[in-house]
Amino acid sequence: MREHLYYDIAEWWPVISPPSEYAEEAALYVEMIRAQARRQVREVLELGSGGGNNASHMKHSFAMTLVEPAEGMREISRKLNSECTHLPGDMRHVRLGRTFDAVFVHDAVMYMTTEDDLHAALQTVAAHLAPGGVALVAPDATVETFSGATEHGGAEDEIGRRARYLEWTLPPEPGETTYTVHYVFLLREPDGRMRVAHDVHLEGLFSRATWLSLFDEAGLAATLVPRTIEGEEYDSFVAVRPTT
């Protein structure tokens, strides 16, 4: 599935979801990585780094390598994070032939819609983790934390573009590992021209037990670590690669 947000309207990403809104959570990810690692963390790989919003904060603590499949999103991130390494790649298959002190996966993991996909992504995480290194995977939701909700947001940029969006999360059908999120974007150019886009994202939803067992199959013993962002509780999974 090609989401309009990451392809046709990717240049609007920083107006829809500004980097400044990620400061609190990025600081938490830096803290979680540092607290768990059994080696000094200098180099961090992020899989599905999107427009590089977390990276724009985390790069002050780590040297970041950013892997993202959508060229438009990489382009946005390159402008924001010129000091980071940007590479194309799908988290299910990419192999960089080297390891990192930490591997981080944020909301991009929600695009793993089957257990096979999630298994492949966690294999990729394990393949890039140095001994003593830490994997931090921070999904938007697990079965246990999921809530169908409607949200809205948007901002304005320095050249006067404005965006507003409505995000409507629908619950999964019984027995399904996916749910859909509908977005309506209103995109206003500085000259007043208005564009409307409807986007449908298919996202994966797995129980905590499934997450932990898929980590196990990837050779990583993970722990469930709750995180709180702007007063909301989320699940995260942290695993350290053994040193022997």
Ligand X SMILES: C[S@@+](CC[C@H](N)C(=O)[O-])C[C@H]1O[C@@H](n2cnc3c(N)ncnc32)[C@H](O)[C@@H]1O
Binding site for ligand X (CB under 6 A): 6, 22, 47-54, 68-70, 73, 90-92, 106-108, 111
Smallest distance, ligand X to C-beta of residue 174, A: 25
Which residues are paired to 231 by β-bridges?
A: none
Smallest distance, ligand X to C-beta of residue 238, A: 17
Q: Which is nearer to ligand X, 6 or 179 (CB)?
A: 6
Beta strands at 100-105 and 129-137: parallel, antiparallel or unpaired:
parallel
- Which residue, among 149, 83, 108, 125, has the nearest Cα to 216 in the 3D structure? 125
Smallest distance, ligand X to C-beta of residue 144, A: 21
Q: Which is nearer to ligand X, 132 or 184 (CB)?
A: 184
53 Cβ contact list (under 8 Å, min separation 6):
14, 17, 18, 19, 21, 22, 26, 80
Amino acid occupying residue 40: Q
Q: Which is nearer to ligand X, 86 or 106 (CB)?
A: 106
- Is residue 117 a contact partner of residue 85, using CB atoms and an 8 Å limit? no
- How far apart (Å, rounded) are the C-alpha atoms in residues 87 and 121? 16
- CA 96, 91, 166: angle at the middle one, nearest 5? 140
Q: Which is nearer to ligand X, 87 or 132 (CB)?
A: 87
Residue nearest to ligand X as judged by C-beta position: 50
Q: Which is nearer to ligand X, 94 or 132 (CB)?
A: 94
Smallest distance, ligand X to C-beta of residue 31, A: 17
Smallest distance, ligand X to C-beta of residue 22, A: 6
